[in-house]
Amino acid sequence: MPLLKCSKEELNLGAVLLGGQSFRWKKLVTNDENIAPASDDIFFGVAKHRVWKIWRENDEQLGYEVLAKFSKARSNDLDVLKDYFQLDIELMPLYKLWAENDKYFAHLLENHRTKLEGIRVLGQDPLETVFAFICSANNHIRRITNMVETLCELYGESAIIPCSNGMKTFYDFADPKRMTDDPELEKVLRIRGFGYRALNIALASKTLEDNGEQFLENLSKGTYEDAMEELQQMRGIGAKVADCICLMGLRMHSVVPIDTHTLQITAENYLQTLQQRKSLQGKDRQQVAAVWQEKFGPYAGWAQAVLFTAHLRQMNIRQSTKKRLSKKKAVKL
């Protein structure tokens, strides 16, 4: 199997692939040394019009296999994989710089380095990020993943691949043209549980069916302000969703998507005046973004991905502790 030089300090597969950036990956846990010689974690997913199997071979290398290619696949597999993980951007120097500039980041890194190292931003297909993050509005990762999978099953190209337990079908991302060709698109999506997002997806597919890829590529070459204005013309794309598309689809690395987690991090560590706020609008959002960009520079969006991951881990630990305490109290009663 081909190998890709990439240290664990530069890429944490689990945190990056399953952390809410992409919704096309699943982890297979196995103890079969013939499948993954130096790791129990294997990741299967679809990206860049290919079906991938990826694992960490050792501390310095990734193993990968392309199980299938869809009709839109272009370029060399290795180059595509490097581009997807944006490996031309070195992470360790950024971590060092961020720790020097921010005491909170330095504290987290000092106490949780192994859990936080290797968290980078994926370079995804812009078209995919538009539809995926429309699905993300007022939603959680598991449900977003189910919606994205459904969209791909309904309107994406398929590939059947032999697996250890039989044949499995994988799907390329949904084609906007296939979506618009279905006169029942909105109805179908509502039946499948998309709710109000069904109309948003139907309208976005009409906007992007012909020259969507070129339109988004042009946005990536322009200014952040122009991209935000254009993206928010589409129903279902507000400021937060547009920021996610800019960061993860258009590769605007300084963009900081502001959700409840980012707001909490900011209020607790950078702008205490925001501690009673549950949402932000207009100038307040700009102020938060400016604080992050001042501290973390041109890759502020990448720093946010690290601190976002740390915040989620802390919340999960707190919730687990509360559950254990509740069980103990119940037993005493």
Residues with a known catalytic role: 240
Residue 5 to residue 143: CA distance in whole angstroms: 34
How far apart, in Å, do the first and last CA atoms of the chain sit?
57
Phi then psi dihedrals of residue 251, to 5 deg: 60, 40
Q: How many residues does the chain have?
A: 333
**Token digits for 33?**
């040394």
| d(C-alpha 107, C-alpha 99), whole Å | 8
Among residues 214, 238, 236, 218, the alpha carbon closest in space to that of 227 is found at 218
Question: How many whole angstroms separate alpha carbon 26 and alpha carbon 40?
Answer: 13
Among 299, 292, 282, 302, smallest CA distance to 240 is for 282
Q: Specify the DSSP element, H or E, that contains 245.
A: helix 239-248
Q: Judging by DSSP bridges, how do beta strands 41-47 and 50-58 pair with one another?
A: antiparallel
Phi/psi of residue 308, each to 5°? -60, -45
Phi, psi torsion values for 236, nearest 5 degrees: 90, -5
Distances (CA, A) of 61 to 8, 33, 55, 283: 8, 16, 9, 44
Question: Helical H runs in 18-102?
Answer: 77-84, 91-101
How many degrees, rounded to 5, is the angle at CA 250 between CA 74 and CA 284? 165
**By the 8 A CB rule, do 127 and 176 touch?**
yes
